């Protein structure tokens, strides 16, 4: 029996640091002197009782009140910290609330924030309709700005939000260059790392201050729970984010924490299939006369392919393609003809999705000028040949006879 196996038998965490898939299989497991389940079971609570007055008044209690987390939440947040290569992870009710909370934690009245033009669209609403109420100004920047971000940093800039690859248009950002300029002015860089799931890219290693994920997507992985995470290495920053989340009264259900923790166990295995299926679909789509371009950073024809190769160890299941200009009737005909691709928001679950994305209205720094309909595909875990055949028969419906 290996040393690690003996230790586990005795109820201790493994003593060796394994590779990422091993880490994901072992992270956040319960330990104890007695027998215990392999996964941390659901610990639901609002009130947590303390056995004595002395325990009640102790300052450094790990579990205080259900809203601040139970062992179910800790198992998940410890596991996400391992995944992201960070020290502390704050769980939040959704990916959007994770982004909003980090922005609120890092701003005050009259702050200025720099937000990538390719951000998840609802972030714009937070910035333009909510933060503005407190005098916080948002400036959207070209996702491909790299080190020229320095020209936009002002004395009152308190945060830079990146998302790589960006929502809908899949630009890969040069996080290392942005960080190196931002650090000169002590401006924290936040990265929405949902696309890579933390499995293919770790922004904290590139010097980013916070890596944010919509746990709803690949970590949850089954399209049945909503959650967000923010992971930091800087404990003072983590405390700030934690405080803001508590002040806002956030709560993550223990059941959802359990589901997401169960999801993380199979993250690597699932992502490999998402990756292979997406690449097969992207390569096939690139050859179709109905398609004018494919937006997938792992393809050599993507403008940021070299940057993607530098930073990412793989690609997930989400990419875009531009359908050659056609009538809305034909677009509807194509979408309605699909059998295996569902039409719905979100992504990262086991199922394939395909939606049209009217992207022009969510760009201000870099206008979207492509003709035709931008489509977003999430390649699920179905058989890739079936997915290709499904697209093929749907194109057949709109192909001129
Ligand atoms: C890149 C990205 N970030 C954040 C979010 C928000 O996540 P949630 O739906 O968990 O709020 C989404 C949702 O689609 C997303 O695509």
Q: How far is the CA of 112 from the centre of ligand 1 (A)?
A: 23
Report pLDDT digits (tens) over 166-178. Answer: 999 999 999 999 9
Residue among 113, 313, 309, 88 nearest 201 (CA): 313
pLDDT(11) > 70: no
Q: Does residue 53 contact residue 40 with C-beta atoms inside 8 Å?
A: no
Residue 376 to residue 102: CA distance in whole angstroms: 27
User: Which single residue is written with the structure tokens 């719905």?
Assistant: 344
Phi and psi dihedrals of 240, rounded to 5? -60, -45
- Tell me, what's the pLDDT at 15? 73
Q: Does residue 195 contact residue 168 with C-beta atoms inside 8 Å?
A: no
Residue 204 to residue 331: CA distance in whole angstroms: 41
Report pLDDT digits (tens) over 76-130. Answer: 999 999 999 999 999 999 999 999 999 999 999 999 999 999 999 999 999 999 9
Domain boundary among 214, 238, 265: 265
Residue 249 to residue 378: CA distance in whole angstroms: 33
Residue 364 CB coordination number (10 Å): 13
Q: How far is the CA of 121 from the centre of ligand 1 (A)?
A: 9
Residue among 157, 165, 199, 214 nearest 182 (CA): 157
pLDDT band (50, 70, 90) for residue 1: very low
Domain boundary among 265, 287, 311: 265
> 346 with 227, same domain?
no
Counting ligand 1 atoms within 8 A of each CB, the residue from 173, 194, 347 with the most, and so the one to mutate, is 194
On whether residue 12 sits in a domain, the answer given is no
CATH number at residue 213: 3.40.640.10
Q: Catalytic residue at 192?
A: yes
Cβ neighbors of 155 (< 8 A, separation 6 or more) are none
Cβ neighbors of 234 (< 8 A, separation 6 or more) are 87, 209
Residue 61 to residue 59: CA distance in whole angstroms: 6
Domain span holding position 182: 24-265
Which atom of ligand 1 approaches the CA of 228 most closely? Answer: 10
Average pLDDT score over the chain: 95
Report pLDDT digits (tens) over 15-72. Answer: 778 999 999 999 999 987 788 899 999 999 999 999 999 999 999 999 999 999 999 9
CATH number at residue 367: 3.90.1150.10
> 164 with 59, same domain?
yes
On whether residue 5 sits in a domain, the answer given is no
Q: Catalytic residue at 67?
A: yes
- List residues near ligand 1 (CB under 6 A): 94-96, 120, 163, 167, 192, 194, 214, 216, 226, 228, 346
Q: How far is the CA of 147 from the centre of ligand 1 (A)?
A: 26
What Rg value do the Cα atoms of the chain yield, rounded? 22
Q: Token pair for residue 282?
A: 């992207």
Burial pattern 221-245, b for ≥16 Cβ within 10 A else e, equals bebebbbbbbbbbbeebbebbbebb
Counting ligand 1 atoms within 8 A of each CB, the residue from 162, 213, 217 with the most, and so the one to mutate, is 217
Residue among 201, 148, 142 nearest 171 (CA): 142
Count up the domains in the chain and report the number: 2
Which atom of ligand 1 approaches the CA of 226 most closely? Answer: 10
Counting ligand 1 atoms within 8 A of each CB, the residue from 95, 122, 349 with the most, and so the one to mutate, is 95
Q: How far is the CA of 265 from the centre of ligand 1 (A)?
A: 21
pLDDT band (50, 70, 90) for residue 395: very high
pLDDT band (50, 70, 90) for residue 401: confident
């Amino acid at each position: 029996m290996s040393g690690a196996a003996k230790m586990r038998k005795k109820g201790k965490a493994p003593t060796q640091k394994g590779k990422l898939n091993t880490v994901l299989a072992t992270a956040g497991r319960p330990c104890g002197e007695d027998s215990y389940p392999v996964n941390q079971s659901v610990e639901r609570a609002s009130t947590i009782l303390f056995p004595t007055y002395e325990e009640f008044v102790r300052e450094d209690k790990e579990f205080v009140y259900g809203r601040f987390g139970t062992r179910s939440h800790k198992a998940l947040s410890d596991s996400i910290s391992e995944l992201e290569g960070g020290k502390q992870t704050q769980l939040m009710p959704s990916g959007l609330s994770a982004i909003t909370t980090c922005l609120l934690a890092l701003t005050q009245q009259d702050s200025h924030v720099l937000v990538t033009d390719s951000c998840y669209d609802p972030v714009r609403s937070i910035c333009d309709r909510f933060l503005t109420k407190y005098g916080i100004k948002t400036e959207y920047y070209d996702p491909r700005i790299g080190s020229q971000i320095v020209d936009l940093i002002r004395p009152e800039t308190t945060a830079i939000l990146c998302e790589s690859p960006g929502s809908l248009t899949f630009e890969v950002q040069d996080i290392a260059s942005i960080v190196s300029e931002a650090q000169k002015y002590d401006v924290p860089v936040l990265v929405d790392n949902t696309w890579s799931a933390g499995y293919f890219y770790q922004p904290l290693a590139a010097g980013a201050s916070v890596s944010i994920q919509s746990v709803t997507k690949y970590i949850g992985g089954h399209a049945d729970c909503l959650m967000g995470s923010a992971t930091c290495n800087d404990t003072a920053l983590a405390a700030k984010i934690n405080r803001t989340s508590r002040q806002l009264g956030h709560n993550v259900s223990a059941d959802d924490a359990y589901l997401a923790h169960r999801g993380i166990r199979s993250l690597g295995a699932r992502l490999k299939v998402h990756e292979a299926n997406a690449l097969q679909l992207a390569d096939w789509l690139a050859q179709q006369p109905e398609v004018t371009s494919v937006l997938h950073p792992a393809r050599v024809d993507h403008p940021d392919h070299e940057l993607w190769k530098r930073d990412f160890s793989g690609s997930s299941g989400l990419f875009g393609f531009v359908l050659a200009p056609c009538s809305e009737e034909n677009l509807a005909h194509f979408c309605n003809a699909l059998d295996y691709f569902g039409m719905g928001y979100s992504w990262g679950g086991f199922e394939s999705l395909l939606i049209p994305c009217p992207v022009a209205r969510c760009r201000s720094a870099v206008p979207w000028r492509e003709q035709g309909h931008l489509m977003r595909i999430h390649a699920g875990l179905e058989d890739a040949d079936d997915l290709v055949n499904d697209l093929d028969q749907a194109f057949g419906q709109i192909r001129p006879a």
